[in-house]
Homo-oligomer: A and B are copies of this chain.
Amino acid sequence: MTESIESYALDEQVGYLLRLANQRHASIFQLHTLDGLTPTQFAALIRIADLGKCSQNRLGRLAAMDVATIKGVVDRLRKKGFAVVEPDPGDKRRTLISLSPEGETMVARMKDVGQQITNATLKPLTAAEQRNLIRILRKIS
């Protein structure tokens, strides 16, 4: 055997497969979403709804977004009229983020859509595989 460690099957590497799975989900999301909301924006919106008024950095941490990333996301949510930004009276460093009434409505409408998106993404899998995937992904996240 002259070529001992020659093969490297890209199509079986987690990293590559995760990228493909993400692509699939993103395109399904885009198909169902409302008002052009992206997966990231939706995640942030849900977090604000759950947390209530909170600082931008804290929101980013709890939505798994970088400080630089969450800034852009909040900017876009504000521009779309779903998020409201105000200075924290008790801490001049902080910016408090909250949902606008339109944001509340959007969250309510998007929760159903989100479920549809999840279902569509998982459609190729059996019920057992779906549960398994979620469980395993939670374990490595």
Binding site for B on A (CB under 8 A): 5, 8, 10-26, 29, 39-40, 43, 46-47, 50, 64, 111-112, 114-115, 117-118, 121-122, 124-125, 129, 132-134, 136-141
Contact = CB atoms under 8 A, between A and B. Distances in A.
B141 A46 contact: no
How many copies of this kind of chain does the complex include?
Answer: 2
A118 B17 contact: no
Contacts of A64: 16, 19-20, 23
Nearest to A39: B15
Minimum-distance CB pairs A-B, first 6: A20-B141, A17-B137, A8-B111, A10-B46, A15-B25, A133-B136
A90 to B, nearest CB: 28
B19 A140 contact: no
Given A24-B140, A140-B122, A114 B17 contact: no
Contacts of A50: 10
B134 A139 contact: no
